[in-house]
A and B are shown apart, each in its own frame.
Chain A
Amino acid sequence: MKSATSSSLRRLLSLNRPHAKKIALAAFFVLLVNGALLLQPYILKVVIDDFLTQHVAQQGLYSLPAMGILYFAVVVAAGFFSVAQVNLVNQIGQKIMRGLRTRVFRTIQLLPLKYLDRTSTGSLITRATNDVEALSDLYTDVLMSLFADAFLILGIIGAMLLIDVRLALVSLCVTPGMFAVIFLLRTKIKKNFQRVKRLIGRINGFLAENLSGMKLVQSFCAEKEKKAGFTGLNGEYFKSTLFQVRMNSVLRPLSDVFQNLTVALLLWYGMGRIGASTLEIGVLYAFTTYVKQFFSPVSDIADNYTTIQSAFVSADRIFELLDQAPTLEDLDAGLPLDRLRGDIEFRHVWFAYNDEDWVLKHVSFHVLPGETVAFVGETGAGKTTIISLVSAFYAAQKGEILVDGIPIGDIRKRDLRRNISVVLQDVFLFSETIGRNVSLNDEIDSEEIEDALKTSYAKVFVDFLPGGIDEPVMERGSTLSAGQRQLLSFARAIAHDPAVIVLDEATANIDTSTEGLIQKAIENVARDRTTLVIAHRLSTIRKADRIVVMRDGEVVETGDHESLMDRNGYYAEMVQGGESVGENPDDSPESSSGTRGAAAL
Chain B
Amino acid sequence: MIGYNTPFSTAAKHAVLIIGALIVILPFYIMATYSLKDPIEITSGTGGVFGKQEAFLDPGCVQSGNAKEDCLFNPIAYNYGQAFSKAPLLRYLFNGVVVTLSIFFIQVLVALPCAYALSKLRFWGRELVFTMVLLGLLIPVHAIALPLYIMLSKVGLTNTYAALVIPWTISVFGIFLMRQFFMTVPDDLIDAARMDGMSEFAIVWKVMLPTAIPALLAFGIFSIVAHWNDYFWPRVVITGTRELFTPPLGIREFASGIDGSDYGPMMATACVIVVPLIVAFLLAQRRFIQGITLTGMK
Is B one of A's binding partners?
Answer: no
